[in-house]
Amino acid sequence: MQGLDILYEDNHIIAVNKPAGLLSQPTEQENDSLEIRVKAWIKEKYHKPGNVFVGVIHRLDKPVSGIVLFAKTSKALSRLNDSIRSHKMQKVYMALVEGIPAKKAGTLTHFLKQGDHCSILSNAQDPEAKQAILHYETLKEFQSSALLQVILETGRYHQIRCQCAAMGHPILGDIRYGAKQRISNRDAIALHHAKLTFPHPITQEAMHIETAVPHFQERCET
């Protein structure tokens, strides 16, 4: 069993730092995933017979790294899903983008619809499109790139990737959305889920989970 970077665990939840290049959940084409590894880790650690229950609360795209939260009980899963619906869960991402945004901070609002393994810009009149809103702040500027902190207000498919590209600053390594530069891990893009806050599903304690941001800038390739 491959090792996991466990950020937090108790009887009800487990938060794991997903490496870039690994699926959050298995697909028909690929079985290896963070969910499969978490189940195997729990089964081995606690010597559980039979199947292990794990419910993913939110997913990260395969090339994205960072925090993924799982519920270990059906009650925790239900309550955490309620927290998402009532906007009590906040996700903070770090994105290294090509170029430097003219505005150091701002809000991006677009209408997106899902295409073939990508998100497509649309408009409010399109019945298939959903509004996507995020807030960003430039934390650090480099010669030809910038590190942004991104807070999602909505959770659309490929939202950060598509909206950064729409702003004219695609995420490094994200060739699908127009990036010209890769990072050395060809299975990764420079997007990382770094902070997650939410009420604990059982105790209601305010939970704050963080993980270090990868050194994207040191691993760039032209």
User: At 45, phi and psi to the nearest 5?
Assistant: -65, -40
* Residue 121, CB-side half-sphere exposure with 13 Å CA sphere: 12
Q: Report residue 143 CA to chain centroid gap.
A: 26
Tokens of 111: 């209408």
For residues 122 and 111, the answer to whether their CB atoms sit within 8 Å is: yes
Please identify which of the residues 32, 61, 116, 174 carries the catalytic annotation: 61
Is 61 known to be catalytic? yes
Q: What is the Cα–Cα distance from 110 to 159, expressed in whole angstroms?
A: 9
Cβ-based neighbours of 63, under 8 Å, separated by 6 or more:
20, 21, 173, 174, 187, 188, 189, 191
Catalytic center residues: 61
